[in-house]
Structure 1
Amino acid sequence: MKYKVFVDGKDGTTGLKLFEYLSRLSDIEILRIDPGKRKDPEERSKFLNAADIAFLCLPDSAAKEAVSLVKNEKTKIINASTAFRTDKNWAFGLPELKNQRELIRTASRVSVPGCHATGLILTVRPLIEAGILQKDYPVTCYSVTGYTGAGKSGIEEYENPELAAAKNLHVPRHYALHLNHKHLPEMQLYSGLLYEPLFTPIKANYAQGIAMSVPLISRSLPKNYSAKDVHEVLATYFESERFVRVMPFDSEAYLDEGHFLITECNNTNRLEIFVFGQNDKINIISRYDNLGKGASGAAIQNMNLMLGFDEGNGLAC
């Protein structure tokens, strides 16, 4: 049996990557809308209601419109936009969280986490559940990400040599400096924090790959936990997971003369967590592909669960 899949918004980075994944799957039939009618609500409605799974790779307002067009109760929706990520009527598509996999399997509406949120939640939530990190801890975090995370316009900007030179895009750029990044609500809700983290994203001149860093000070924790204590909790939490790996505590062998390699998980659905530290200083870094586990790979992982496939169907570890 082939399942019918429609990607609404296939021209963005997430949509294009989804098509790449889906085209490899023999048990999937991709429904293709006429490019000239892709913004026609009536035509979109036909395709949305004909699909077993509909992926929404759209701005928030367009994603909400797409949901309103679905009248067929059999159509399951996987949303890749910010819309609905904190809506309790939608399952949050991060299977590696405790009890989340079963919610996704039985859901008809699933929201894929934001790329930055994925790394933060997977490092903080297990520590809160274990009692190592208190819910009111003033979490700070920062990420370094490739420019594909900025979408189609960002890619065009960075890959235009004249524009890149004029805007000095060869150097990293901090952004969201008003501390209102759109991933903050889901970061707080699904990590279990009482307050939003102080988050600073940094965009750099390379295509894809993300590193999310979460520093902790052990003297501010409930007990004087060490970096090794943190590592052991994370390693136990994810020990049976296929796509989330906690790397050895002595991780010098994975560095390049002391430098962290951000892009080692590119073109996979893998997320790797590292814990570094000494004395009362701890630094947790997760690395993954912002187009893989941070977007389209996670969407496919959720689809596999919702359709009863093997979770890794079509995905590289």
Structure 2
Amino acid sequence: MPTRVFIDGAAGTTGLEIADRLAGRAEFEMVALAGDRRKDSAARREALNGADFAVLCLPDDAAREAVALIDPASPVRVIDASSAHRVSGGWTYGFPEIVGRDAVAGAARVTNPGCYPSGFIALVAPLVRAGLLPADWPFTVNAVSGYSGGGKGLIERFEADRDIAWRGYALGLGHKHVAEMQVLCGLAHPPLFAPAVVPAHRGMVVEVPLPLAAIPGAAGADALRDCLAAFYDGSPIVRLGDTPEGGELVLRQSRAPSDGMELHVFAAPDGSQVRLVAMLDNLGKGASGAAVQNLNLMAGLSETAGLQLP
């Protein structure tokens, strides 16, 4: 008997991409609401409680509302792609490589990671856990993303105004992504987060610069690289990337959809400085691909089923 999946917010960018990854998979039966019923609370309540899995692709307040519509006795298991529950008690953070596949597989409530935090956490959490970087260092993260991460409104804005070359935001600091970066990496201080959007539909580069010579107790570049390679050894989704040709990483506007993540460690010749870099698809491992990976694990399936990987 197929597993029933309801995507609440199926018409949004993340919901559409999740549906695309699940299309044609005999393991799942999609529960759908007609357009005029998608915002009807009674219809949503029925769909949420009648599914085996509910995937929430909604703004934060609407995601909280959806959870409130679920009967406490309902067996439905939830994956929330919003940021509403990422550091909330009772929710499992849906980054299997970091929290453990068994933890995700057995969870009733899973909160999908943010796109930028996915890159930062993938780079920093293993190194702090291993004691190669101190948890009390004031980390900085610089990042750019394709405009699809901003949803339909930002997509329309970028595609209507081709003169936008760079859009910096979160200039008041304190962005909602910061909390999960700090908590999942076990940091003493919130990282300084500097995100921007560039005129590419999808794709993302997350960079953590490290002045190793100034960081008390920091390990060298080779040790950092070896730690990341060992931590993700055997992962079909996250891997340490090869040295790029010409010494450059390129985010192309024509980037194809991908649910993988590639990590890099670039070091100064004298080892005094390092740039940790993660490249991923903000709609893939940064959103929809991560949700499908979590759904696969929770449903007892191969974690890569339906994913788009090299």
Q: Under TM normalisation by the shorter chain, which class is it?
A: over 0.9
- Does structure 1 residue 272 correspond to structure 2 residue 272? no
Alignment partner of 1:124: what SS? helix
Unmatched tracts of structure 2, length 5 or more = none
1:44-98 CA-partner distances (Å, limit 9, x unpaired): 001101110100001111101100111152100000001010012000000001x
* Contact 1:132/1:221 (<8 A) preserved: no
1:104-153 CA-partner distances (Å, limit 9, x unpaired): 11111000000000000010001101111111101001111100011110
| Structure 2 residue identity aligned to 1:94 | F
Shift of 1:266: 4.0
* Contact 2:133/2:218 (<8 A) preserved: no
Q: TM-score, normalised by structure 1?
A: 0.93
- Does structure 1 residue 189 correspond to structure 2 residue 183? yes
* Contact 1:265/1:271 (<8 A) preserved: no
Alignment equivalent of 2:168, drawn from 148, 156, 174: 174
Shift of 1:222: 3.4
Provide the rounded CA distance (Å) in 1 between the counterparts of 2:11 and 2:179.
27
- Does structure 1 residue 310 correspond to structure 2 residue 299? no
**Map of 2:37 onto structure 1:** 37
Matches within 5 A, 1:18-167: 18-71=18-71, 72-97=73-98, 99-160=99-160, 164-165=161-162
* Contact 2:45/2:70 (<8 A) preserved: yes
Alignment equivalent of 1:223, drawn from 207, 217, 223: 217
Unmatched tracts of structure 1, length 5 or more = none
| Structure 1 residue identity aligned to 2:112 | V
Matches within 5 A, 1:282-297: 282-297=274-289
Shift of 1:202: 1.2
Alignment equivalent of 2:196, drawn from 192, 202, 207: 202
Provide the rounded CA distance (Å) in 1 between the counterparts of 2:176 and 2:255.
24
| Structure 1 residue identity aligned to 2:185 | S
Alignment partner of 2:96: what SS? coil
| Structure 1 residue identity aligned to 2:209 | P
Provide the rounded CA distance (Å) in 2 between the counterparts of 1:228 and 1:30.
47
RMSD in angstroms over aligned alpha carbons?
1.4
* Contact 1:92/1:100 (<8 A) preserved: no
* Contact 2:94/2:110 (<8 A) preserved: yes
* Contact 2:79/2:110 (<8 A) preserved: yes
Paired residue total: 305
Q: TM-score, normalised by structure 2?
A: 0.95
Provide the rounded CA distance (Å) in 2 between the counterparts of 1:88 and 1:215.
31
Provide the rounded CA distance (Å) in 2 between the counterparts of 1:266 and 1:287.
13
| Structure 2 residue identity aligned to 1:191 | C
**Map of 1:262 onto structure 2:** 251
1:10-55 CA-partner distances (Å, limit 9, x unpaired): 1211011111111131211111101101111101001101110100
Provide the rounded CA distance (Å) in 1 between the counterparts of 2:100 and 2:183.
14
Q: Relative to structure 1, is the Cα distance of residues 91 and 205 closer, same or farther in structure 2, using a 3 angstrom cutoff?
A: same
* Contact 2:141/2:207 (<8 A) preserved: yes
Q: Relative to structure 1, is the Cα distance of residues 224 and 290 closer, same or farther in structure 2, using a 3 angstrom cutoff?
A: closer
* Contact 2:202/2:255 (<8 A) preserved: no
